[in-house]
Amino acid sequence: MKKWITTLLTASMIAACLTACGGSGSQTKETAAETSQTETEEKDVSAVTAGGDAKIADEITIARIDDVTNLDPVLLNYTADIQIVNMICEELVTTNDKGTEIIPSLAESWDVSEDGLTYTFHVKEGLKFSDGTDVTADDWKFSFDRAMTTPESAWSFSVANVDSVEVPDAATVVITLKEPEANLLSNLSCFNAALQSKAHYDATNGYQDAGSYPIGTGSYAVSDWVLDDHITLTANEYFHGEAPKTKTIKFETITDDNSRIMKLKAGEVDIITDIPYSNMEEIAGTDGLVAAGIESTGNKYIVLNETSNEALASKEVRQALLYATDKQTIVDMVLYGYGEPAVSFMPKNGLYWNDTIEELPYDPAKAKELLAEAGYADGFDIEVLIPSGNETYSQIATILKDMWAQIDVNLTITSMDQAALYDDEYAMKHEMVFGSWSDDIADPSQLGDYWWNFETSQCFFTGYENAEAQKIFEESNYELDDAARKDLYFQLQQIFYDDAVAINMYHADATVAMSDSIQGYVQTPLYAYRFDNLIKVVE
C-alpha cells in the first residue's frame, strides 16, 4: 500500500511520491520522478504564487460519484456527506493529516481528572459561526445534547459513556464520563460531536426545511446546494484560523465513471475522485493530468442479507460463498495494484488489526460440500444491487457471477439509481450489496459499533446478530489495558471470519485524478478533505 502523501504537494509531485513509496511506476510522470519525497514535503504553495505572473483561480470544481444527500452531523451515513460536514463544522479535537493522532481543533487544550472521569476542554475564545454570530455556551450545550439524545443517530456510541456536559462559558466545556473510557478523545473527533448553531437549527425547523444545512465554524460554508447536481462551498469570512487559499470549491455529482473522466480531460472539472482502477494508467498518460492512489482505511465487503434470502441465514452457505470467491483474482482484475485481499473486517495495519487470521483457500469443491450440508446441493438464486454507472462494482459483480456459477449459485446483477439503492439497503430489502467503509476516527470503535451494535445498522445491513460478540465489543470500549483491548478486537475479527458475517473482499487505495495545475490536495486516510491550501494555478 502506498504511503500517505503529506500536505502541500503539487499535483505533478504526487506520482513521484507514490513511486518512491512503492506505488505503481506506470502512473508516474518522468518530470516528477526526480523529486524526492523529502523535497516534496517541504514545498509550500506560497512559494508558487509569490513570484512571476502566476495567479490563483477563485474556484475549483471537483466531480464525485456520490451525491450529497444529508448534512446533519448526527444523522450522517455516507462518506460524500461526511466530507462536506468536516469542512463546514468542527469538533473539540480532530486528527492529524495521517489520521493517526488526536490533535487540538476548537479546543486549544484539555485537562483530565485523576480518576479519568472528567475532561475540561479549554476552547478558543471569540469564535464565530459562518453567519457572523458569536458561538455561545448554549451552542455547545445544544450540540452535545443532540449528539447524546438523537435516537436515529448511528453514532450515539461516541457519547454513550458521557454522563453530563457542562458549559460554564463559551470557552469551557466540561465532560464527565460514567466510567473511564479508552477512546473518548477519538470519539469526540467524530462529526457527531460537531459544534452547530442552535439559532440556525431552530430557524430551519431542525434542518427540515428544503435545502437546509448546519452552520459551523469551519473554514468553508455552504453557499449553494442543489440535490442530485452540486454543492458549492465558499470560504468562511469569519473563520478563526488562516483563510483558505481558494475562495470557492464546487462539488459536482457525476455518477457515471466515464462522464467524470471525460469532463476532466475536457477541462470542465479540475479534480475527479473514485476513478475505476482500470482507468488510472490511461489518465496518468494524458498530458496535463495526474492520477494517484492515496492510502486509505477503505474496506470493501460483500454484504449478505440473511433476512431477505433464507439461504444466507445459514453459516455454511455464507462460508461456501467465501470458499467460492477468489479474492486475488478480483484484486488482480479490478484494482491494478492499488490494493490487496482482505481477511479482517478492519482496515489493514490499523489499530488492533488481526494479522493472525488464516485465509481460507479458494476451493469451489469445498464450497459445494458446504452447500450440500446446508441443503442447497442444487445451489440457489441471489440478486446483487449495484449503483448505475459504477464500473468497479459492475466488474466485481460480473467476476463473482462467473465464480459462483461453478457452485450453481445464480447471481443476478441489478443496476439501479444510487439513492434508490440506499433506500432499499436501509429498508433491508436487498439480498446482496457491495459495502464500503472508511474510518472517520483514529480508533476501531466506530467500525466496531457499526458491525456489532445491532441497533446501529443491523450489523452493517446483514441482519446478523450475535449477543456474545456484542458483549465483547461493549467490553472493549471500557477496557483501559491496551493489550487486553487488542485481544478483544482480535476475538471479534476471528468471530467475523469464522461466521462469514460478510465476505471481506479487499483493502484499497482511494483514487484521485486532477489537472496538473492543482496544488495542495490533501485527503487523509480517514477520507477527510483538508483543502485550506488547495489551489489552482492559472497563467
Query: CA 92 to CA 226: how far, in whole Å?
Result: 30
Query: Which amino acid does the sequence have at 296?
Result: S
Whether the CB-CB separation of 270 and 514 falls below 8 Å is answered with yes
What's the CATH number of domain 1-65+254-295+512-539, 3.40.190, 3.30.70, 2.60.40, 3.30.420? 3.40.190
Q: What is the pLDDT of residue 335?
A: 93
Query: Which amino acid does the sequence have at 133?
Result: T
Which residues have a Cβ under 8 Å from the Cβ of 79 and sit 6 or more positions away?
Answer: 66, 436, 438, 527
Q: What is the pLDDT of residue 350?
A: 83
For 213-267, the DSSP string reads: ----SSSEEEEEEETTTEEEEEE-TT-SSSPPS-SEEEEEE---HHHHHHHHHTT
Per-residue pLDDT of the chain (539 residues; tens, 9 = 90+): 222 222 233 333 333 333 222 222 223 222 222 222 222 232 332 233 434 567 999 999 999 999 999 999 999 988 999 999 999 999 999 999 999 999 999 999 999 999 999 999 999 999 999 999 999 999 999 999 999 999 999 898 899 999 999 999 999 999 999 999 989 999 999 999 999 999 999 999 999 998 899 999 999 999 999 999 999 999 999 999 999 999 999 999 999 999 999 999 999 999 999 999 999 999 999 999 999 999 999 899 999 999 999 999 999 999 999 999 999 999 999 999 899 999 999 998 789 999 999 999 999 999 999 999 999 999 999 999 999 989 999 999 999 999 999 999 999 999 999 889 999 999 999 999 999 998 999 999 999 999 999 999 999 999 999 999 999 999 999 899 999 999 999 999 999 999 999 999 999 999 999 999 999 999 999 999 999 999 999 97
Give the DSSP H/E element, type plus range, for residue 122: strand 118-123
Q: What is the pLDDT of residue 419?
A: 87
Q: What is the pLDDT of residue 48?
A: 36
182-209 burial: b if 16+ Cβ within 10 Å, else e: bbbbbbbbbbbbbbbbbbbbeebeebee
Q: Return the domain boundaries, the chain.
A: 1-65+254-295+512-539, 89-200, 299-508
Q: What is the pLDDT of residue 303?
A: 98
Q: What is the CB neighbour count within 10 angstroms for residue 1?
A: 18
CATH of domain 89-200: 3.90.76.10
User: The C-alpha cell of 109 is what?
Assistant: 487544550
Q: What is the pLDDT of residue 141?
A: 98
What's the CATH number of domain 299-508, 3.40.190.10, 3.40.50.2300, 3.40.50.300, 3.10.105.10? 3.10.105.10
β-strand partners of 512: 273, 292
